[in-house]
Amino acid sequence: MRVNKFVSTGIAVVACGSLVVAAAGPALAAAPEPAPTAAAPDTKAATAQRLETVANLGELLSLAAKIAAEAQSKTPDKAVLADLRQRYQAAADKLLKSVKARAAAPGGLPADAVKDVQDALAKLNKDVTELLAAVAAGDAPKVTAGIAKVVADLQALLAAVPKLAGGALPLPVPGG
């Protein structure tokens, strides 16, 4: 089996994403509690919310990588791509919803962290849509370029992870 640079990069991004998600889960769950205030959030609910955000991020990364891998196959299955696209969009919506919920909670995320995730998701959505259009058109050069863009977008989304944790993750960012 011949593996080219984009496939190996995609595999590396997925592997790095899995490592970040695996490392981020406990770090997010163990983030320091906010200083007690008159209306301190329920720590169990806050922990569940952090874990939900990490789970949604992991699901989104996985689905985007699967879309890129299927798009790059010799004969991409359009039905599989349509299913992956639908599941990807649901995961993106869940991630954005959980990020916004964390921002709205007392002691939640800073506004710039939410904006960074929104911007990264918007770019990723645009590039995934363009990639799928290139696959449908059978335009191999655009598919190759689209996969490179999706990989870069996934790396940008991973760069937003430390901000989601409130700076609590001393992790190196892949590709950074």
Which tens digits make up the pLDDT trace of 16-37? Answer: 565 555 555 555 555 555 554 4
**What mean pLDDT value characterizes the chain?**
77
The percentage of the chain sitting over the pLDDT mark of 70, rounded to a whole number, equals 66
Q: 152 CB contacts (<8 Å, ≥6 apart)? A: 175
- CA dist 175 and 82 (Å) reads 29
Q: Write the pLDDT tens digit of every residue in 118-170.
A: 899 999 999 999 999 999 999 999 999 999 999 999 998 888 766 665 444 44
Residue with tokens 């990989």: 151
Q: What's the predicted TM-score (pTM) here?
A: 0.67
Structure tokens at 2: 């011949």
In our burial notation (b when 16+ CB lie closer than 10 A, e otherwise), range 72-85 reads beeebeeeebeebb
Do 73 and 155 touch, CB atoms closer than 8 A? no
* Residue 33 per-residue DSSP state: P
